[in-house]
Amino acid sequence: EVQLVESGGGLVQPGGSLTLSCVGSGFTFSNFWMSWVRQAPGRELEWVANMKEDGSQAYYADSVKGRFTITRDNAKNSFYLHMSSLRGDDTAVYFCAPDGDGFPNWGQGTVVTVSS
C-alpha cells in the first residue's frame, strides 16, 4: 500500500522560513517524479513544484519561484519543501504526491499558517 506522510507544518511569521518533509513507502520512491501541491483555506488546489526521479531537475510555480526550493533524498525515501520569505497567501495545507497520470496517491497533508 502506498503511503505518504508529510510533516513540518506549523505557525510561522511573515518573512519566516519553514521546511516540510514527505516520506513515501509502498512504492519505489526513486522511480517517480515527486510534487508538492497546496490548498489554501476554502480554495482550489495549486501545484507548487516537482522534481525528477534523480533530483537533477526541479520546476516551480510562478507564485513560489525564488522563495521555495525542493530537494529529495532517495536513500531515505524523502522529499522536502524548503520555504522562505513566507507570506500570508502561503497559508495552506501542503500535500506531497508522486507524479503519474494525474496524482494517484496523496498524503494527508501538513498545515502551514503564516501569521504574526
- Contact predicate 70/50, CB 8 Å: yes
Closest CA to 22 of 105, 92, 86: 105
From CA 16, how far away is CA 21, in angstroms rounded? 17
* Smallest separation (angstroms) from another protein to the CB of 102: 3
Task: Give me the sign of the Cα torsion angle 88, 98, 47, 81.
Answer: positive
* Smallest separation (angstroms) from another protein to the CB of 37: 8
Q: Which of 91, 109, 110, 112 binds another protein (CB under 8 A)?
A: 109
Q: Which of 18, 81, 95, 114 binds another protein (CB under 8 A)?
A: 95
How many residues bind another protein (CB under 8 A)? The answer is 19
Indicate the length of the chain as a whole number.
Answer: 116
The stretch near another protein (CB under 8 A) out of 9-17, 19-27, 73-81, 93-101 is: 93-101
Q: Which of residues 25-44 bind another protein (CB under 8 A)?
A: 35, 44
Closest CA to 96 of 82, 111, 81, 107: 107
Q: Which of residues 44-83 bind another protein (CB under 8 A)?
A: 44-47, 50, 59, 61
Closest CA to 94 of 83, 72, 109: 109
* Contact positions vs another protein (CB under 8 A): 35, 44-47, 50, 59, 61, 95, 99-104, 106-109
